[in-house]
Amino acid sequence: MVLCDFATSMGSSSGSSSSSSSKPLPSPQQQDIDGLLAGAGYKVRSSELLQVAQRLERLENAMGNSPADFSQLATDAIHYNPSDLGSWVDSLLSEFVQPSTCPSEVIMDPVPNQAVVSNAWTTAEPQNPQVHQNICYEQQSLNNQLTVVTATEEDSGIRLVHMLMTCADCVQRGDLSLATSLIDDMKGLLTRVNTVCGIGKVAGHFIDALSGRIYQGIGGGSVNGGSVLENEILYHHFYEACPYLKFAHFTANQAILEAFEGHDCVHVVDFNLMHGLQWPALIQALALRPDGPPLLRLTGIGPPSPDGRDSLREIGLRLAELARSVNIRFFFRGVAASRLEDVKPWMLRVNPKEAVAVNSIMQLHRLLGSEPTRNYPIETVLSWIRSLNPKIMTVVEQEANHNQPLFLDRFTEALYYYSTMFDSLEACTVQPEKALAEIYIQREIANVVSCEGSARVERHEPLAKWRTRLSAAGFKPLHLGSNAFKQASMLLTLFSAEGYSVEENEGCLTLGWHSRPLIAASAWHAVPDASAEFPAWDNQQSS
């Protein structure tokens, strides 16, 4: 149920302790009538739930404020079509004299309401009323103004974090009204915080994402609706601005290069070709490897390009030119698919005699879902990967737990994760790479925070979970050797700002910022299927 909870503020006995709203928002599939209310006999469109809730709240307010009128309602009012809850509430509201300012009305100018708000939501933010005091303090003490500002900034920063968490908690509980007023407070607080860097910058993005979640109601699919071309551009700048993707490429390439040793026919399947940035280096290394070059096939998967261009083919052609210039036999195949789960193994045309490398840079998490029991595309995809019998599967994923069941947990994790990532981005000074990289990260944040269901694709899980999942799917880990570690360390030390650290984690490598790992690279190969030789149903053989 998505009714607003005013128990604490009004002290009334409406007693709608609807803490069952651990499910923050209804699923996007229900485009029309809200199922739960329908069960109670009310017809409310899912898209209007928020408005209805707000109006109910106002009604309660009004009832509480003028109990005398209320009793009149009970006797004289004509109620039209109570199953149409929205207009029924409206009709009731119109009977009352509306207060000129309403604390729950989010459209109004937030500033004059702040004092009102802070009185109303006593439990929400006890420090709120002091915001005004700090302003006065600033104006008074000009001498040590700088330190005061800094202290205030720091305070504001910490306050922002608290408010963000509180807001997220409200969202999780379904207290959207409180959430929206917190948003306003936070936006106000943002003006007193440096938004160019630090907590102010990342807080701004999280505030936006929370807003997006609240106001878009369902799905929020349009939040992450960048075009294919936009996404490619942002990706490329993210690649340039910070070392995460480069680290992913070097490490995966090193593992693939080593796995291909001794093989004359090799096939790389790239789950997200983009501009093929990963491959020139591998092509050259294979072409010049001490034992002589293999025959190299590359299958690149990517979204279909709009406006008739065949970007996969273009990339393939450029890679082929490069391959030709270094004298390595090279074949390219592009597979256009909007989603990875739409790809079928036969499209990849894998030859049983060739050594196959499956390369997934931040793609597998998109196949996950919310509930542990349902069958999500990850199972299917992992299973057909296994059927390809790859010599190696390189997996690089964000090292974060952004797929937890509870929204607040996800939110908290994301806040810390992306703060760290933004911190690391401060070291980059090149524009426009930095600005566009920030937008790239911001889109991830928006997806993690404000999307749900199939629209929420950034379902990052940490290495430990992937280990379990991949082992269960029949893969065994391959240790990334010391070469990979040394290369990553050296290259990062030479060319990245201080603060990045490469660490080894049981055969996997992570790249992080100041001891917080942010991205993890691992390698796997398929376990030979023992049951294929001894069918499970033939029990007679075992006895």
Partner 1 sequence: MMQFTESPSQPSHQITSFSIPTMNKNQIHRARPWLGFPTSKGLGSFGDANCMEQLLVHCANAIESNDATLTQQILWVLNNIAPPDGDSNQRLTGAFLRALIVRAAKSGTCKMLAAMANARCNLSIDFHTFSVIELASFVDLTPWHRFGFTAANAAILEAVEGYSVVHIVDLSLTHCMQIPTLIDAIANRLEGPPLVKLTVAGGVTEDIPPLLDLTYEELGSKLVNFARSRNIMLEFRVVPSSYADGFTSLIEQLRVQHLVYAESGEALVINCHMMLHYIPEETLSPLPNPNSNPYSFEPSSIQSLRTMFLKALRGLDPTVVVLVDEDADLTSNNLVCRLRSAFNYLWIPYDTVDTFLPQGSKQRQWYEADICWKIENVIAHEGLQRVERLEPKSRWVQRMRSANFRGISFGEDAVSEVKTMLDEHAAGWGLKKEEDDLVLTWKGHNVVFATAWMPV
Binding site for partner 1 (CB under 8 A): 229, 232-233, 236-237, 239-240, 246, 250, 253-254, 257, 275, 280-281, 284-285, 287-290, 311, 313-314, 316-318, 320-327, 329-334, 432-433, 483, 486-487, 489-491, 493-498
Give me the half-sphere count of Cα atoms (radius 13 Å) on the Cβ side of residue 42: 17
Minimum separation from the CB atom of position 312 to partner 1 (A): 10
Cβ proximity to partner 1, 187 vs 289, nearer residue: 289
Minimum separation from the CB atom of position 502 to partner 1 (A): 8
Cβ proximity to partner 1, 237 vs 402, nearer residue: 237
DSSP string of 409-438?
HHHHHHHHHHHHHHHHHTT---TTHHHHHH
> 143: helix, coil or strand?
coil
Minimum separation from the CB atom of position 483 to partner 1 (A): 7
Minimum separation from the CB atom of position 324 to partner 1 (A): 5
Q: Backbone phi, then psi, for 477, in 5-degree steps? A: -70, 145
Cβ proximity to partner 1, 40 vs 430, nearer residue: 430
Burial 428-448 (b: 16+ CB within 10 A, else e): beeeebbebbbbbbbbbbbbb
Minimum separation from the CB atom of position 130 to partner 1 (A): 42
The Cα 50–Cα 171 span in angstroms is: 12
Two tokens, residue 137: 């303090």
Cβ proximity to partner 1, 449 vs 492, nearer residue: 492
H-run or E-run covering 519: strand 516-526
Minimum separation from the CB atom of position 201 to partner 1 (A): 22
Minimum separation from the CB atom of position 234 to partner 1 (A): 10
Cβ proximity to partner 1, 175 vs 423, nearer residue: 423
Minimum separation from the CB atom of position 525 to partner 1 (A): 20
H-run or E-run covering 451: none
Cβ proximity to partner 1, 192 vs 297, nearer residue: 297
Residues β-bridged to residue 526: 475
271 contacts: CB under 8 Å, gap ≥ 6: 301, 340, 358, 359, 360, 361, 363, 364
Determine whether 373 is exposed, middle or buried from the number of CB atoms within 10 Å of its CB (0-12, 13-18, 19+).
Answer: exposed
Cβ proximity to partner 1, 127 vs 489, nearer residue: 489
538 contacts: CB under 8 Å, gap ≥ 6: none
The Cα 440–Cα 169 span in angstroms is: 26
How far are the Cα atoms of 20, 167, 220, 453 from residue 449, in angstroms, in the given order? 20, 12, 10, 12
Cβ proximity to partner 1, 16 vs 305, nearer residue: 305
